[in-house]
């Protein structure tokens, strides 16, 4: 599970919604939340967004992690920060994907998981 100091672990939906809020504060583009419950054993929610530049992608990831850490929640795995084309923040019940435009189009998680309901 995602590492937490004390108290109950937030739900996957709460982590996803808060991620969208944090990413929006730093002007991430095209933020989407996919509800993968019943479709995947990997996680319950994907949060997918794009950044304008590698610098912004790093900023988005750092800000999201910082805000969660302030609330006592730490990602169990972080990948892609060095290249900043596709950064993954894994909170077990929700996984945040921050892409540059080219990588988002190439991997097209939005279409790959097209059966998943979107959370507004």
Nearest CA-CA partner of 42 in 80, 102, 92, 91: 92
Tell me the domain boundaries of the chain.
7-108
| Residue 44 DSSP one-character state | S
Mean pLDDT of the chain: 93
User: Rounded CA gap, 77 and 47, in Å?
Assistant: 15
* pTM of the predicted protein model: 0.91
pLDDT in tens, 7-58: 567 899 999 999 999 999 999 999 999 999 999 999 999 999 999 999 999 9
Distance of alpha carbon 46 from alpha carbon 119, whole angstroms? 10
Give the CATH fold of the 7-108 domain.
Beta Polymerase; domain 2 (3.30.460)
């Amino acid at each position: 599970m995602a590492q937490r100091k004390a108290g109950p672990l937030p739900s996957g939906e709460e982590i996803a919604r808060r991620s969208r809020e944090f990413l929006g504060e730093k002007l991430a583009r095209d933020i989407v939340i996919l509800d993968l419950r019943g479709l995947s054993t990997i996680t319950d929610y994907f949060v997918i967004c794009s950044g304008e530049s590698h610098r912004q992608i790093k900023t988005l990831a750092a800000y999201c992690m910082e805000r969660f850490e302030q609330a006592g929640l730490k990602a169990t795995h972080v990948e892609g920060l060095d290249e900043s084309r596709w950064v993954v923040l894994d909170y077990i019940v929700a996984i945040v994907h921050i892409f540059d435009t080219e990588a988002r189009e190439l991997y097209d998680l939005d279409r790959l998981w097209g059966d998943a309901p979107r959370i507004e």
